[in-house]
Amino acid sequence: MRRLIDAVTKDQKRSWKDVTRKTHATDANDVLEALIAECGSEKALEAVRNQCLQGNYRQIIEILYEEAVARRARRCAALKKKKTGSIP
């Protein structure tokens, strides 16, 4: 099976321009990142099991979760500074 993001973006070859496909691929990655940060590593691991994926995904999920949470914190801090006009 093709990777999810590839399957979705490449299937739209006829109707989407290259820049649109790249934007949607980036957006899809951001959505998955947000879902992992929001759900946490245990729920993400449960989702992997529910997807009938076999293997030990705990380590990579925990790494993805830690990175997603760190990115969320950086994005939120940057947005807050931008809204308040604070200078770092």
pLDDT digits (tens, 9 = 90+) for 67-81: 999 999 999 999 988
Measured CA to CA, the distance from residue 6 to residue 25 in angstroms comes to 8
Measured CA to CA, the distance from residue 36 to residue 60 in angstroms comes to 12
Measured CA to CA, the distance from residue 32 to residue 39 in angstroms comes to 10
Query: Is residue 10's pLDDT more than 80?
Result: no
pLDDT band at 87 (very low <50, low <70, confident <90, very high): low
Question: What is the C-alpha end-to-end distance of the chain, expressed in Å?
Answer: 45
Task: Report if residue 39 sits inside a domain.
Answer: yes
Task: Report if residue 86 sits inside a domain.
Answer: no
Consecutive H or E run containing 25: helix 18-50
Structural domain boundaries enclosing 33: 4-8+16-80
**The pLDDT value given to residue 88:** 52
Q: What is the mean pLDDT of residues 23-33?
A: 92
Task: Report if residue 37 sits inside a domain.
Answer: yes
**The pLDDT value given to residue 13:** 64
Task: Report if residue 63 sits inside a domain.
Answer: yes
**The pLDDT value given to residue 81:** 87
Task: Report if residue 23 sits inside a domain.
Answer: yes
More confident residue, 58 or 4: 58
How many domains would you assign to the chain? Answer: 1
Task: Report if residue 87 sits inside a domain.
Answer: no
**The pLDDT value given to residue 16:** 80
